[in-house]
Structures are given as C-alpha cells and as structure tokens.
Structure 1
Amino acid sequence: MRVPSFGVTLKSLVIAVAALSASSVFADEVQVAVAANFTAPIQAIAKDFEKDTGHKLVASFGATGQFYTQIKNGAPFEVFLAADDTTPAKLESENEIVKGSRFTYAIGTLALWSAKEGYVDDKGEVLKKNEYQHLSIANPKAAPYGLAATQVLDKLNLTEATRGKIVEGQSIAQAYQFVQTGNAELGFVALSQVYKDSKLTSGSAWIIPANLHEPIKQDAVILNKGKDSAAAKALIEYLKGPKAAAVIKSYGYQL
C-alpha cells in the first residue's frame, strides 16, 4: 500500500506560518488625530489601509485647534490630519513634526446645510432672507471650517444680521449635530458630512463658492512621537496614493 506524502502540504504550511509571523512582527498601530470634517473619509480609508498594509489606524476626532493644544501637552498622537495648513505649519516651526512630512492631503469645501429637504436653495438666498431662528457654525477659533463660515458671512455683509442667531459648536461635528437634531434650522458644515459620490446624502444645501472664503487647505504631518513608526510613514504614503485619493474625492474634497 502506498503511503501518501505530506511533504508539499507541510512545506506550504511552514511558509504560511512564517509569512504570518513576519507580518505580525512588521504590522503596527498608528494613533491619528483627525479633524472632525474628515471622519467619514478616514474611516473608509482605514479599512483599505489595514487590508493593504497590515497596519491598523486608530483615529481620534475633534477640532484642529483643540488637537494643537493636546499635542503641545504631550498627547500620544503619531500622525495629525488637520483641517487647515496653518496649524501643521505652526507645529513644524516649533519642531513638533518629522521634517519633510507635511503635505496637503485635501482641500475642503464648505456648505450651508439644512436637514430639511428644500429648505436651502442652491444660491443661498435663505441665508440672506434671515427668516430662520438659529444658524449653526463651528467655533472659528478652534475649527477652520468655522473660521471660513465667518468669512462667508462677512463677505455677504451678514455678520451683524446673524450675530444673535448663531449657535456655536466646538467642532464641525457638533455644528453638524445642531442642524441634524433640529436645534438649528441650518448651518455651515463641511460638504463631506452631507455628500457622497456626487450627491447629497440628506436634506438640502448650498455649496459655498470658493471665492467667499480663504481656501481650506488641509495638511497632514507625522508628529515627533511617530518618527520611528513604520505605520505612521505608511499612512502618509497611503494618503498620497490613488486609492485614498478616490475616497477623498468621493466626499467632495479637491486634491
């Protein structure tokens, strides 16, 4: 009787185990501070990033200004995806980042949004009519999208008219929540919060023309705590690649 040979199978098994062990050794986890407007895109990117590189992305979401304070106070973030370019530039001037790591990963778009369908027209006349009770914006001192919102109001000569109606969120996520829950009839949000694949996901919106505010250039950096992290370097490179670019564009950002 012929004894079956298990040589090939055993060899394959040994190779597979070795490969798995190697990937476990080189796989890493990266702690990322992410501007609130980029929540949905980074969650989508994180899945592909882990699948393609083996590294795991652990994200914390909030306002850019708040993250700056946390980073200066020693927060354990290795990568920072800001909602502007000035905060990362400031961190760079203060020697808080890995030299040469800073780049613009997205250019944001601001939108005037209401959870009610048909409430906001496509030219923003609802804002000028001033018939609403509450207008939600993010804190302009902490959130770049909030600063952009104040620039729009100033450009349209509506700063004084809206002063008593503004409901301020600490981040763009909170500004969005105020509108979503009906605490404000409309508000300035990041387009990415209400947009996917070339269409609104809910409600009604006016996409703010870019000439009404300064460009919202969003920069990414590797912080000093991530200087020896393979996962941090891999994430920055991944954000520059075609897969991430496709996701970023699908949420209404420019590259």
Structure 2
Amino acid sequence: MAQVHVLKPLNYLGASAALAVLLTLSTTIAAETVSIAVAANFAAPMARIIEAFEAGSEHQVQLSLGSSGKLYAQISHGAPFEVFFSADQLVPSKLAQAGLALTATQFTYAVGQLVLWSAAEDFVDDKGQVLRLASFDKLAIANPRLAPYGAAAVEVLEALDRFEEVKARLIMGENIAQTYHFVSTGNADLGFVAASQVMRDGKLTAGSGWLVPQSLYTPIYQDAILLKTGADNPAARAFIDFVKTPEARRIMAAYAYVQQVDLTRSVD
C-alpha cells in the first residue's frame, strides 16, 4: 500500500510576517538618499519636483541651496553633494574639467527668465520705463560675480544705457534668494529677480513687474550634472531621469521656466 504523507498546514500568518520582513529589507536596501545642490533661483520648483519624485519612489532627496558660485566652491572643497543644478552652464563644465563631475551627464534642465520686480503695486510698469525715470532709491541685483541672474541684470542695465546712472543705488544680494528678500521686505524699491520667484502660470503673484525681453541679456541656460560622488548612487541617476520627465517639465513651466529662448519680444 502506498504511503500517504499528510502535509501539515502552513502557518500562513507566520509566512506573511516573514514575507513582510523580507520585502521591508529589500525596500530598505534598494532605497537611497541623494544629496543635491541647487541654485537659489530654482528653490520653489525644485521643492515641488522633489515632492513629486519622492511620492513615486522609495528614494529620498536632501536639498541644499545657494548661489552657483558658492556651491561650486563648496563642491571644490569636498562638500558631499551628488547632483548639482546650476543657474548657468559654465559652473557644471568647470566641475567636469576639474574631474569632480561626469561630463557626459551634463544637460540643460531649464532656461531662466529675468523680471524687474517691486513688492509695491503699480511701481514697475510693464515696459520697464521706471529704469529710465530713475524714480527709486534702491535697486537690488544678485552679485554678478556669483550669480548668473546678477550678471544678466548688469547686462540689461548696460543694454538700456542705465548702468552708470543707477550703480550708486545698487544693493547686491549674495544670491537671487537674498535679492528677492531685499525687495519683498522693502529694503529695496525694486530689483531684478528670477521670474520663478514672482510668477505662477504666467502671472505675477504680487506687486508689479516687467518680464525683461530675453534679447537684452545672455540666455540663462541652467545646466545640471552628476558629480563623481553620486556616480554609484541609483537615487542620483533616478532623480536626474525624473527631472527630464513631462511631469517635472510641467512644474518648471508653472514657475516661468522655458525650454527655449524667445527673442521675438521687443523693447519699447
């Protein structure tokens, strides 16, 4: 007679608990944290991009903000960032040339726009004539040696032949975030800020401003690059991939970042 082996019932509760533990361990092993350094002008959209990325990923993001020049100095001195989002193209290229970043990973993630803005209603007209009238005491710009938006502001003033007239009234922020703070708190009557700081969906969120024609300054192509420290971090590469997605692009567009330069707007 054939022997019949009766199998004991599985302890399904125990098996489920064991599976849960294994899945948790697997997720913990797969999940990583990426440390990113981001130019201050991109703070608001980056916060939303990170939120969207983390909502659909096990990875986490640590964010540090500053001027492109300051962040470059920190990276050069060993700051443990893994991805760098600059406000220009030059700084990422310099990092690659110094052997601190991977050249092939550099890409333009956005094109920034410059706005002459005041926290006061009706102070800045939509043609920027306030610069010609010079009816203000303090004009804020970001430090042009550290911040591309500051360099762009100087270009605009020179293009309009106003730099010499207003340079005694300039106050400089270390970065574009501090420049915005000067204007928003009334320490400056007006200032050149990033459009992302004062515009949503094509409209000013407060105050008054002039969206400066891009023909008046060198296009602010903003590049990102994977740093050598993040080369083996899957979270770093996953985040870079996400920044290139339509979802991230829509967030950028809401904050007045464009994907190409428009030179058709004229100066009246």
Matched residue pairs, number? 251
1:109 aligned partner, one-letter code: Q
1:86-235 matches, within 5 Å, as 86-235=90-239
- Displacement of 1:198 in angstroms is 2.2
- Displacement of 1:6 in angstroms is 9.2
Separation in structure 1 between the aligned mates of residue 117 and residue 242 of structure 2, nearest angstrom: 31
Separation in structure 2 between the aligned mates of residue 7 and residue 151 of structure 1, nearest angstrom: 74
- Displacement of 1:19 in angstroms is 2.8
**Pair 1:9–1:250, CA change in 2 (3 A):** farther
- Displacement of 1:21 in angstroms is 2.5
Question: TM-score if structure 1 supplies the norm length?
Answer: 0.94
1:253 aligned partner, one-letter code: Y
Q: Paired residue for 1:78, among 82, 107, 115? A: 82
CA contact under 8 A between 2:102 and 2:228: conserved in structure 1?
A: yes
Separation in structure 1 between the aligned mates of residue 153 and residue 219 of structure 2, nearest angstrom: 12
CA contact under 8 A between 2:150 and 2:176: conserved in structure 1?
A: yes
1:50-75 C-alpha deviation (Å, 9 max, x unpaired): 11121111111110011111111111
Separation in structure 2 between the aligned mates of residue 39 and residue 253 of structure 1, nearest angstrom: 12
Structure 2 unaligned segments of length 5 or more: list them. Answer: 1-8, 260-268
Q: Paired residue for 1:41, among 39, 45, 52? A: 45
1:77 aligned partner, one-letter code: F
Q: What's the secondary structure of 1:61's corresponding residue?
A: strand
1:93 aligned partner, one-letter code: Q
**Pair 1:10–1:90, CA change in 2 (3 A):** same
Question: Larger deviation: 228-237 or 9-18?
Answer: 9-18
Q: Highest CA radius of gyration, 1 or 2?
A: 2
Q: What's the secondary structure of 1:232's corresponding residue?
A: helix
1:229 aligned partner, one-letter code: N
1:173 aligned partner, one-letter code: A
- Displacement of 1:89 in angstroms is 1.1
Which residue of the partner structure matches residue 66 of structure 1? 70
- Displacement of 1:15 in angstroms is 4.2
- Displacement of 1:99 in angstroms is 3.5
Structure 1 unaligned segments of length 5 or more: list them. Answer: none
Aligned-residue CA RMSD (Å): 1.5
CA contact under 8 A between 2:103 and 2:225: conserved in structure 1?
A: no
CA contact under 8 A between 2:93 and 2:103: conserved in structure 1?
A: no
Q: What's the secondary structure of 2:36's corresponding residue?
A: strand
**Pair 1:174–1:13, CA change in 2 (3 A):** same
Q: Paired residue for 1:252, among 238, 241, 256? A: 256
**Pair 1:118–1:94, CA change in 2 (3 A):** same
1:101-147 C-alpha deviation (Å, 9 max, x unpaired): 10000000000000011111111011111010000000000000000
1:47 aligned partner, one-letter code: E
CA contact under 8 A between 2:112 and 2:257: conserved in structure 1?
A: yes
Separation in structure 1 between the aligned mates of residue 78 and residue 88 of structure 2, nearest angstrom: 21
- Displacement of 1:17 in angstroms is 4.0
Question: Larger deviation: 16-25 or 46-55?
Answer: 16-25
Separation in structure 2 between the aligned mates of residue 14 and residue 151 of structure 1, nearest angstrom: 64
